[in-house]
Chain A
C-alpha cells in the first residue's frame, strides 16, 4: 500500500515537472528585462499621445541598452525615439536617431533585420517629406510599394499613406490612384484603426474641391480622432481645415481652428508646428485688420522660440494675451 502511494507520488511529481515549462523571461538577465519594460511603457505612452513621457522612457531604455552594448535594443530605442521626435516636430533629432539605427542595422546581424529596415524606411521617408525632399522619399518607399498588395502589412499601408501624402503635396495627377490604393488596403486590413479611417477622410477632404463635402469630411475625421483622443490627429485636422478656410477667406473660422490647434501643439511641446500655426495666424489677423492680435501672434512667436519647454505651460495660462 505504502509502496503504491510512493510510486503514485513520484509519478505525479514527474508529470508536474513535465508540464512545467521554464519561461523565456526567467532566463533573461534583469537589465535586459528592465530595458524592455521601459520600451513597453514608452510605446504605451506613445499610443496614449503622451509623447513627452514616451520620449523619456525611450531615452532611459537607450541608455540601459547602451550600458550593456545590446545592438538590438539600441536600434529599437533609436527607432522609437526617431518617431517620437518626428511627431513633436524635432526633425533634426529624428534624423540623427534614424542615422544611428541605420548604421547599427547595416553592421550587425539582428533579429527581424528585414522588418526593422522596412520600418526604418517609413520613418526615413516621413522625415524626407517633412523636409520637402519628395523625390528621395519616393525612392525610399518604392520597394515597399511594390509589395503593398501582396503583403498588406502595417508597414506597406504606412508606405502607401506616405506616398499618397507626397502626391497631394506635389498636387500630382496620380493622387486619386494612391488614395484608392490606401482605401483598398484599409478595407483589406483585418482591423483598421479609427485614426487610419480618419486619415483617409482627411485625404479625401484635401482632394475635394467642393467646400461643403470638404467640411463634411473634415468634420467626420475630427469626430473620429476625438473618439480616439488622438491629439496629433485632432491638431493636424484643425490645421488643414483652417488652411482651406483661410484660402477661401473665412478668416474668423480659420483663426478659431488654428487657436485650438495651437493649444494642442504647445501641449505636445511641438515648437516647429506651433510656430507654423502662429505664422498663419499672424497673416489672418493682418488681413482681417486685427492689429492687436497680430502683435500678440508675433510676441508668441518670439516667446515660443526663446522660452524653455518647462515654462510653456505658463504661457497657456495667460488667456488674456492668447493670440
Chain B
C-alpha cells in the first residue's frame, strides 16, 4: 500500500527514460527557438525585407523631408521603401522606390503618385501615396519612372495669405499718410477758435434774432415794412473783431488741408455713396439677403428664429464660461498636485531609458556634433 502511494507521488518525468527526458527538454528549447524565429519573421516589415522587390523611379521638383523612412502607400497599403534620392544633371530630383513584387500589378500606367508632406513644427514627415491603377492599363515595369505630384505644404498655403496681409498694410499706410497730412497744431487752434466763437454768441441775442426773423417772414407776405430797428440789433449783435478772427481761422484750416488728399477722399466718398445707392436700390427691390429679409416673410421668420437661437447659444456660452472660470480657479492647485507626479514620471522615464533594449535605441551622446564640418566655406 505504502509502495503504491509512493509510486503515485513520483513525477512522470522520473518514470521516463533518460534519453526521452533529453528529447523532451530539447523539443521545448527547439519550440522556443522556432517561436522566436517565427515572431522575428512574421512582423510586416521583416517580411518585406525578404521579399522580391522591383525598382520604380519617381520624379519630383523639390525634396520635402524625403528620406529612407518615408513611407510608400499603395492604395492604402504600406508597401515599399525609399532606396535613394538622386539629383540628375538637369537638376531633377529622382526618388528610387523599392516596391515588393506582389504589389506590382497594382501600379499601372494610370496610377497617380502624390507626395504628402507634413511640415508642422516638430512633425516633419512625408508620405508618397500611389493610387491603384486600372486593370485595363499596362503594368509599370521595373525601372519605369512615375511623376510624383506635390501637395501644397502648410508653408505654401500660408504664403498665399501674404498678398492679403500686404494689401492690409498698404491700406494702413495710406490712412497714416492721410492722417499725417493734417497738422495737429492748426487743427487744435481751429477747434479752440470754434470754441471761443461758440462761447461768444449770446443765446439771448440769438433768440431775439430768431424772433425778429420769424416776424419778418410772417409779415413779408403782406408787404409790411421790415423793422429796421430789429436789423440794427442783429448787426450790433455781431462782434466784427471775432468775425474777422474766425474768417482767418477758417482760412488757416483750409490751408492746412491738402487738396489732393481731400479730392482723393471725395472721390472715395463718391464711389462709396454710389455703392450705397446701388445697395439701397437692391434692398428696395427686395434683392439680396437684406432686401429679401425685409420683404420675404419666411426669411424674416428665419431671421427672428436665428436671433433667438443665437441668444440661447450666447446664454449657454455664458454658463459654460462661468463653469470654465471656476475650473480655471482650481487649476493652480491642480498643477501643484501634478508637478510632483510629472517629476516622478520624468525620473522613471529617464531610468527606463538607461535599461538595455531602450538605451540602445536612444542616440548616444557621442553623436552630438561639437565641431563644425571641415569643409571650407569662406570661398
Contact = CB atoms under 8 A, between A and B. Distances in A.
A196 B354 contact: no
B371 A119 contact: yes
Given A40-B368, A220-B91, A227-B63, A162 B354 contact: no
A161 B375 contact: yes
A193 B354 contact: no
A46 B370 CA distance: 11
A16 B355 contact: yes
Contacts of B376: 86, 122-123, 126, 158, 161-162, 165
A39 B356 CA distance: 29
Contacts of B91: 220, 223-224
A84 B370 CA distance: 14
B372 A83 contact: yes
Interface in B326-379: 351, 354-357, 359, 365-366, 368-379
Contacts of A227: 62-63
Contact of A40 (B357, B359, B369, B373): B369
A196 B375 contact: yes
A224 B366 CA distance: 31
Interface stretch (A3-11, A19-27, A279-287, A291-299): A19-27
Given A19-B356, A227-B63, A24 B375 contact: no
A323 interface: no
B354 A22 contact: yes
B374 A24 contact: no
Most A C-beta atoms less than 10 A away, residue of B357, B373, B377, B378: B378
Interface in B165-194: none
A273 B272 CA distance: 54
Nearest to B89: A220
Chain B interface size, under 10 / 10 to 19 / 20 to 34 / 35 or more: 20 to 34
B374 A87 contact: no
Q: Pick the most buried of B366, B369, B372: most chain A CB atoms within 10 A of its CB.
A: B372
B377 A87 contact: yes
Contacts of B374: 119, 122, 154-155, 157-158
Interface string B92-129: 00000000000000000000000000000000000000
B84 to A, nearest CB: 11
Given A19-B356, A22-B354, A193 B375 contact: yes
Given A22-B354, A193-B375, A43 B369 contact: yes
A86 B371 CA distance: 15
A236 interface: yes
A195 interface: yes
A236 B379 contact: yes
Interface string A39-59: 110011011000000000000
Contacts of A223: 91
Contact of A25 (B87, B351, B365, B373): B365
Contacts of B359: 21, 23
A193 B91 CA distance: 15
Contacts of A83: 372, 377
Nearest to A156: B374
A16 to B, nearest CB: 7
A197 B91 CA distance: 12
Given A19-B355, A223-B91, A158 B375 contact: yes
Interface of B: 62-63, 87, 91, 351, 354-357, 359, 365-366, 368-379
Interface of A: 16, 19-25, 36, 39-40, 43-44, 46-47, 76, 79-80, 83-84, 86-87, 89, 119, 122-123, 126, 129-130, 154-155, 157-158, 161-162, 165, 193-197, 220, 223-224, 227, 232-233, 236
Q: Which 6 A-B pairs have the closest CB atoms?
A: A19-B356, A39-B370, A158-B374, A86-B378, A126-B376, A43-B369
25 contacts: A19-B356, A21-B354, A23-B365, A36-B370, A39-B370, A39-B371, A40-B370, A43-B369, A43-B370, A47-B372, A47-B373, A76-B371, A83-B377, A84-B372, A87-B377, A119-B371, A122-B376, A129-B379, A154-B373, A154-B375, A155-B374, A161-B376, A194-B87, A196-B375, A232-B377
Given A25-B365, A119-B374, 18 more contacts: A20-B354, A23-B359, A23-B365, A36-B368, A40-B369, A43-B371, A43-B372, A47-B372, A79-B372, A80-B371, A86-B378, A122-B374, A126-B379, A158-B375, A161-B375, A165-B379, A194-B87, A195-B375
